C-alpha cells in the first residue's frame, strides 16, 4: 500500500513537487509535510545529488567487524528484538536495519529477494545513511529530528529510493542521548502505517532492556565493590541471616574467630552476652559493646558493633556484626596518644665512670625479660633510662606506658592500673575504661615512684606479676596481660621494707635487675657536657642565640651541689637564657641566689679531676684547677691521650672535649 496514494496538496502531486524542488530549490506552501520540506532544504544546501547511486561510504569487512565490536552492547540488546520483529513481517519483503548514532548500518535482517534489491541501492550493513550522504531517508532524518518518522516514495530526496518506504525510530540511552536507530524498509506497496507503530514499540522495549542491563551492571559493580570492601576492611565482619546463622565471614573475622564458624549460630560465638543478643533479636543497632567472644582459639577481648539488615520493604533480613580486637585498638590509641618511648642510650649525656656503669647494666637488662628496678634521686633521669631500656628491648615496637604512683590519690590508683567497667562506681565513664596494664599489653609498663604505692595496692600488683592476668573494677572476667615491668624510686626500698612501708615479697619480685642512676654531684665531670647540651636545646626552643658563656659562670655551676640534679640544671639554664633576653651572652648575675651565694672554696688534691701524680695548687678556682691538672698530665705523658685518660680516671672522649673547651692542643706536648 502506497502511503501517499498519489493525493495532492495545493493541487500539486508529490512527484511534481519533488521535481520542481530538485531543479529550483523551492516549494509551494503545503506541498509536502513540514518535516520533509525541512529535510529537503537541508539536503539541497548540502549539495546532495538527487540522482546519485546512493551511499558510496561503505566500510570493508574489517572496519565493519570493528564497528560491531564497539557497539556490541547495543547489538546484543537490539538483536533479539530485531529477530522478533522480523518474525511478524517475514515473507512481506521487508528488511530490519540497526544503525549506530552516526547513521552507519551495523546489523540487518530480511528476506533474500528484498535484501538483494536493497543491496542495489547500498542499503546494507557498513553503509552510511545520514542525510548528508544519501538525502532524506528514515535513518538520517530520524537522527536530525530525534523522533520516529515514516518516509515513503517521493518523500525521499534521492530518486533511487522513490520505490521504498522507511519506518524508523531513535534509540535513546538512560541519559537521553541517541545511540542508534531501528528501521524497517521495503517496497512502498508492502509498507503500512502500523509498521511505524511496531518500530516504536520495539524501540521502547530495547530502551527498557538497556535500562535494566545498565541497572544490573551498576548493581554488579556495587556488589563487587561492597564485596571487596567486606573482604579487605581491617575490622572483622560477619553477616548473619534472620535465623541468626552465620552466612558470610571476612578474612579478619576468620583470623579472630577461626576458620570453621561459617554456618554456626551467632549465639555460639557471643557467649553469655544477653544485652547484645537482645539488641539483635529486637533488630536494633548497637555500637562498640566490649565483650569476650568465644573463638576456636579461646576467648577474645573485642569491641562488637551490630547493624541490622533490611530488605526493600523494611523487613528484617539478618544483621552484620563488626569485630575489633581490643589489642589493636590499644595499639592505635598508644600510637596517637604519645605512649611511645622516644629516648635511647645515645641520648644519655655524660662519660663519667659511674654513669657508664649504670648504662652498661641497663643495656644488659634491656635484652632480658626480667623486671628492672631503677633507683636514684629525683631529677637524675630515671625515666630516660626506662625509655632507653624499652627501645633496646625485644618489646621496642610495643607501647611504653608510664604511671607516677605518687601523683595519684590513693583511691584512683586501682582504677588507673586495672581499669573499670561501666557502672563500677559513681562517676565511672560510660562504657568503662581500660587500665594501664591493658594499655601496656605487649610492651613496657613504667611505674615511677613505686615506693609511694599504698601497701594494699602492692598486694594486688604482686598478684598481677605472678598470674599475668587482671580483672577490671566491677568486672567479672579476667583479661590476660603480657607486660614487662620497669619500676623507679627515689627511696631506699630496703629501708622501706624494714619500716613495713613496702612489701618484701614485692621488692624481691621487682628488684631482679637493679640500675642505680648516679646524682649529678657524683659525676661533676659531666656537668660541662650537660650544660652545653641543655643550652643548645633551650636556645633552639626559645629561638635565642648565645655565643658567650663567661668562665666565672661555669665556675659557679661547678661549685654547686645540685640537689635537684639534671632537672634543676635544666631549669637554671632556661632561667639564664630567658633572663638575658636581648643579649648573646650569659651573665653570672642572672644565676639563682642559691648558687651565687656559695663561698669560694678551694679544691684539694683529692678532687676527681686531679690524679695522685699531679697535685692541684690550693686557692685556684675549679676550672683553673682542672685546666692546670690537664696540662700537667699531658706534659707528663707527652700528649698520649690514653695515658692521660687513665691517670685522670676519664674516658678518651672526655679528655678530648676538655682539651677543646680549654683550647689546648696536644701537639705542644710531643717530645
Residue for grid cell 627515689:
490
Q: What is the pLDDT of residue 276?
A: 64
The whole-number average pLDDT for the span 506-511 is 92
Distance from C-alpha of 27 to C-alpha of 4, rounded to nearest angstrom: 18
Domain identity same for 73 and 206: yes
Same domain, yes or no: 194 and 109 = yes
**CATH number of the domain residue 79 falls in:** 3.30.450.40
CATH code, 536: 1.10.8.60
| pLDDT score for 1 | 40
Residue 178 — pLDDT band, cuts 50, 70, 90? very high
Rounded to two decimals, the pTM is: 0.54
Per-residue model confidence as pLDDT tens digits over 341-361? 889 999 999 989 999 999 999
Residues 458 and 585 in one domain: no
Instruction: With a cut of 50, say whether residue 199 has pLDDT above it.
Output: yes
Question: Average pLDDT in the 316-341 region?
Answer: 71
Based on the fold, state whether residues 577 and 486 are members of the same structural domain. Answer: no
Specify if 412 maps to a domain. yes
3-state secondary structure string, 460-497? HHHHHHHHCEEECECCCCEEECCCEEEEEECCCHHHHH
Cβ contact 413:454 at 8 Å: yes
Residues 480 and 413 in one domain: yes
Percentage, residues of the chain above pLDDT 70? 87
In a domain? residue 27 = no
Look at strands 444-448 and 484-489 and give their pairing: parallel
Q: Does residue 161 lie within any of the structural domains?
A: yes
Of residues 219 and 597, which shows the higher confidence score?
219
What does the pLDDT read at residue 206? 94
Does residue 14 carry a pLDDT above 50? Answer: yes
Residues facing residue 551 across a β-bridge: none
pLDDT of residue 184: 93
The yes-or-no verdict on residue 103 having pLDDT over 60 is: yes
Average pLDDT, the chain: 83
Using pLDDT thresholds of 50, 70 and 90, give the confidence band for residue 363.
very high
Is 1 contained in some domain?
no
Residue 8 has pLDDT above 60, yes or no: no
Are 391 and 482 in a shared domain? yes
**CATH code of 464's domain:** 3.40.50.300
Answer yes or no: is pLDDT of 5 > 60: no
pLDDT for residue 612 is more than 50: no
Residue 93 has pLDDT above 60, yes or no: yes
Confidence band for 63, pLDDT divided at 50, 70 and 90: very high
Instruction: Please report whether residue 535 resides in a domain.
Output: yes
Tell me which residue range forms the domain holding 624. 600-671
Do 315 and 409 lie in one domain? The reply is no
Confidence of residue 610 (pLDDT cuts 50, 70, 90): very low
Nearest residue to 451 via CA among 400, 409, 507 = 507
pLDDT for 603 equals 34
Residue 512 forms part of a structural domain:
no
CATH, residue 313: 3.30.450.20
* Predicted local distance difference test score (pLDDT) of residue 614: 40
371-394 in b/e form (b: 16+ CB < 10 A) is bbbbbbbebbbbbbbbbbbbbbbe
Averaged over 150-175, what is the pLDDT?
93
Position 281 pLDDT exceeds 70: no
The reported pLDDT for the residue numbered 439 is: 84
Residue 605 pLDDT > 50 = no
User: How many domains does the chain fold into?
Assistant: 5
The residue among 248 and 193 whose pLDDT is bigger is: 248
Establish if 21 belongs to a structural domain: no
Which of 325, 349, 369 is the last residue in one of the domains? 325
Of 579, 597, 615, the domain-final residue: 597
Q: Within this chain, do residues 195 and 91 fall inside the same structural domain, yes or no?
A: yes
- Strands, E assignment, 469-591: 469-471, 478-480, 484-489, 513-516
pLDDT value for 317 = 79
Are 401 and 444 in contact by the 8 Å Cβ rule? The answer is yes
Q: What is the pLDDT of residue 654?
A: 78
Q: Which of 155, 187, 214 is the endpoint of a domain?
A: 214
Is the pLDDT at 670 greater than 70? The verdict is no
Considering the domain architecture, whether residues 91 and 113 belong to the same structural domain is answered as yes
Q: Which of 85, 109, 302 is nearest to 204 (CA)?
A: 85
Is 449 within the bounds of a domain? Answer: yes
**pLDDT for residue 425:** 63
Residues 412 and 498 in one domain: yes
Mean pLDDT value of segment 68-75:
93
Task: Determine the distance from the C-alpha atom of residue 34 to the mean position of all C-alpha atoms in its chain, rounded to a whole number.
Answer: 64
Q: Are residues 203 and 249 in the same domain?
A: no
Q: What percent of the chain shows pLDDT beyond 90?
A: 37
Do 613 and 559 lie in a common domain? no
453-480 pLDDT per residue, tens: 888 889 888 988 888 888 888 777 788 8
Predicted confidence (pLDDT) at residue 143 exceeds the cutoff of 70: yes
Amino acid at each position: 500500500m502506497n502511503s501517499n496514494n498519489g493525493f495532492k496538496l495545493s493541487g500539486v502531486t508529490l512527484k511534481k513537487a519533488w521535481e520542481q524542488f530538485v531543479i529550483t530549490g523551492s516549494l509551494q506552501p503545503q506541498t509536502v509535510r513540514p518535516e520533509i520540506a525541512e529535510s529537503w532544504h537541508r539536503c539541497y544546501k548540502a549539495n546532495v545529488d538527487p540522482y546519485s547511486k546512493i551511499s558510496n561510504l561503505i566500510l570493508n569487512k574489517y572496519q565493519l567487524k570493528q564497528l560491531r565490536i564497539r557497539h556490541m552492547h547495543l547489538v546484543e540488546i537490539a538483536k533479539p528484538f530485531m529477530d522478533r520483529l522480523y518474525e511478524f513481517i517475514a515473507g512481506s519483503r521487508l528488511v530490519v536495519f540497526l544503525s549506530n548514532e552516526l547513521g552507519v548500518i551495523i546489523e540487518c535482517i530480511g528476506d533474500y529477494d528484498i535484501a538483494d534489491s536493497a543491496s542495489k541501492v547500498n542499503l546494507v550493513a557498513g553503509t552510511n545513511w545520514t542525510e548528508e550522504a544519501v538525502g532524506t531517508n528514515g535513518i538520517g532524518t530520524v537522527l536530525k529530528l530525534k523522533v520516529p518518522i515514516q518516509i515513503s516514495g517521493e518523500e525521499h530526496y534521492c530518486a533511487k529510493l522513490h520505490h521504498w518506504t522507511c519506518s524508523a525510530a531513535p534509540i535513546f540511552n538512560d541519559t537521553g542521548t541517541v545511540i542508534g536507530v531501528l528501521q524497517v524498509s521495503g517496497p512502498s506497496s508492502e509498507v503500512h502505517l502500523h509498521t511505524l507503530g511496531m518500530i516504536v514499540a520495539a524501540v521502547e522495549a530495547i530502551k527498557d532492556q538497556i535500562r535494566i542491563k545498565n541497572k544490573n551492571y551498576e548493581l554488579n559493580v556495587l556488589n563487587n565493590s561492597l564485596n571487596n570492601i567486606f573482604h579487605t576492611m581491617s575490622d572483622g565482619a560477619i553477616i548473619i541471616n534472620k535465623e541468626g546463622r552465620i552466612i558470610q565471614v571476612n578474612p579478619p573475622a576468620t583470623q579472630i574467630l577461626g576458620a570453621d564458624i561459617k554456618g554456626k549460630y551467632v549465639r555460639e560465638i557471643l557467649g553469655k552476652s544477653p544485652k547484645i543478643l537482645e539488641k539483635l533479636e529486637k533488630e536494633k543497632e548497637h555500637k562498640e559493646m566490649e565483650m569476650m567472644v568465644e573463638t576456636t582459639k579461646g576467648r577474645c577481648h573485642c569491641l562488637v558493633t551490630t547493624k541490622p539488615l533490611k530488605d526493600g520493604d523494611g523487613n528484617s533480613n539478618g544483621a552484620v556484626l563488626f569485630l575489633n580486637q581490643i589489642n589493636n585498638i590499644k595499639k592505635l590509641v598508644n600510637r596517637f596518644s604519645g605512649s611511645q618511648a622516644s629516648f635511647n642510650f645515645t641520648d644519655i649525656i655524660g662519660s663519667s665512670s659511674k654513669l657508664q656503669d649504670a648504662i652498661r647494666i641497663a643495656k644488659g637488662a634491656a635484652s632480658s625479660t626480667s623486671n628492672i628496678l631503677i633507683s636514684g634521686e629525683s631529677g637524675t633521669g630515671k625515666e630516660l633510662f626506662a625509655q632507653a631500656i624499652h627501645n633496646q628491648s625485644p618489646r621496642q615496637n610495643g607501647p611504653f606506658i608510664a604511671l607516677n604512683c605518687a601523683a595519684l590519690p590513693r583511691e584512683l590508683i586501682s582504677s588507673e592500673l586495672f581499669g573499670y567497667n561501666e557502672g563500677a562506681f559513681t562517676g565511672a565513664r560510660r562504657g568503662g575504661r581500660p587500665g594501664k596494664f591493658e594499655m601496656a599489653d605487649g610492651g613496657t609498663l613504667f611505674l615511677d615512684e613505686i615506693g609511694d604505692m599504698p601497701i594494699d595496692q602492692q598486694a594486688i600488683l604482686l598478684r598481677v606479676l605472678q598470674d599475668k592476668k587482671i580483672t577490671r573494677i566491677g568486672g567479672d572476667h579476667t583479661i590476660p596481660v603480657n607486660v614487662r615491668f620497669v619500676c623507679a624510686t627515689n627511696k631506699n626500698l630496703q629501708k622501706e621494707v624494714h619500716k613495713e612501708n613496702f612489701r618484701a615479697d614485692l621488692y624481691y619480685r621487682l628488684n631482679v635487675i637493679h640500675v642505680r642512676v648516679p646524682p649529678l654531684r657524683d659525676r661533676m665531670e659531666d656537668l660541662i657536657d650537660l650544660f652545653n647540651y641543655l643550652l643548645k636545646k633551650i636556645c633552639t626552643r626559645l629561638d635565642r642565640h648565645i655565643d658567650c658563656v663567661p668562665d666565672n659562670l661555669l665556675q659557679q655551676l661547678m661549685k654547686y651541689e645540685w640537689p635537684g640534679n639534671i632537672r634543676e640544671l635544666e631549669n637554671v639554664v632556661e632561667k639564664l637564657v630567658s633572663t638575658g633576653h636581648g643579649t648573646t651572652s650569659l651573665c653570672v648575675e642572672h644565676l639563682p641566689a642559691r648558687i651565687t651565694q656559695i663561698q669560694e672554696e678551694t679544691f684539694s688534691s683529692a678532687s676527681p679531676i686531679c690524679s695522685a701524680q699531679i697535685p692541684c695548687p690550693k686557692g685556684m678556682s675549679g676550672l683553673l684547677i682542672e685546666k692546670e691538672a690537664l696540662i700537667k698530665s699531658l706534659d707528663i705523658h707527652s700528649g698520649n691521650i690514653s695515658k692521660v685518660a687513665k691517670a685522670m680516671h676519664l674516658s678518651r672522649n672526655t679528655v678530648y672535649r676538655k682539651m677543646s673547651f680549654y683550647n689546648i692542643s696536644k701537639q705542644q706536648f710531643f717530645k
